Amino acid sequence: MRSLKPFFYFILIAIGLTYFLISPLFPNQEAVQILSALVFWYGVVYLALAFPLRRALQLVMSWKSKGLLLLSSYLLVHYVAYGLLLERILGMGGVNLFGITYSPVQSVSLSNYLVLLYSPSVAIGNGGFLLDLSFFSLVMGLMIGIVVVGTLIKLLKLKSSIKRDSWIVALPLTGVLAGGTCCVSISGIVAEYGLSALAVGGLAVIGPIDAIYFGLPFLTLASLWLLFETIKDASSEYVSGNNQYLRKTQSCR
């Protein structure tokens, strides 16, 4: 039965996508969008945390309150940066402290799937400071945060196990910090200054803001996850080889 559990979440994802696609057919499109998006992203988060990000999540949870504090700190900065970026894209307004917004679509179309990346969103703030966080940015921020914190914990454990050569963790640590902060800082800069849309033959296709909003989280997550997995293999091989060297040295004595 346990092997069938992932299929259940794939079904949830399919159901969420289907209902989001046909949401214009319902009188209350807002409710259908919100519920279908929740179902879709819930399935995505479960599958991601249960499989590729499982080890990173276990490391974060193994540090208990310290791990959760590190994760919360990163998420706070990440969500503020991407909240400002989405607000720049959509130009939402009229929100009083807290609200859930959505982008209505006029007809059933495959292009509605792109709307799923923007809508619905959670709007927080009022006046000159407004954060607009789509479910996409919430989910991607959580995944990136887990990998960043998991990698930091792994590096700290590696550093403590190879005290003599602790300098070898400097390069991967720099990669983690650069990857995690790049995703946040670039989005913040773009949200502050804005960029115009690219045009092909007079037709606006996609703007740099949109490209950064969609592409940067995926690239950051993939790069950091590969780094996380590489550190795992490299650290185990180094510690194993170092232990063998010590045993040989001791036997020679």
Which pLDDT tens digit goes with each residue over 229-245? 887 544 444 445 444 44
Fill in the amino acid letter for 240.
S
pLDDT band at 83 (very low <50, low <70, confident <90, very high): confident
CB 172 within 8 A of CB 249: no
At 204, list the tokens: 């606006």
Asked whether residue 93 carries a pLDDT value surpassing 70, the answer given is: no
Asked whether residue 81 carries a pLDDT value surpassing 70, the answer given is: yes
Nearest to 153 by CA among 26, 88, 64: 64
Please state, in angstroms and rounded to a whole number, the distance separating the CA atoms of residues 209 and 187.
8
Indicate the average pLDDT of the chain. Answer: 75
Distances (CA, A) of 106 to 17, 26, 112, 147: 17, 11, 9, 38
Question: Which residue in the block uniquely carries the two structure tokens 């040295």?
Answer: 249
| Long-range contacts (CB closer than 8 Å, 24 or more residues apart) made by 155-163 | 155/231, 157/235, 158/231, 158/235, 158/238, 158/239, 161/235, 161/239, 162/238, 162/239, 162/242
Q: What is the pLDDT of residue 239?
A: 46
At 142, list the tokens: 């959580």
CB 123 within 8 A of CB 138: no
Asked whether residue 74 carries a pLDDT value surpassing 90, the answer given is: no
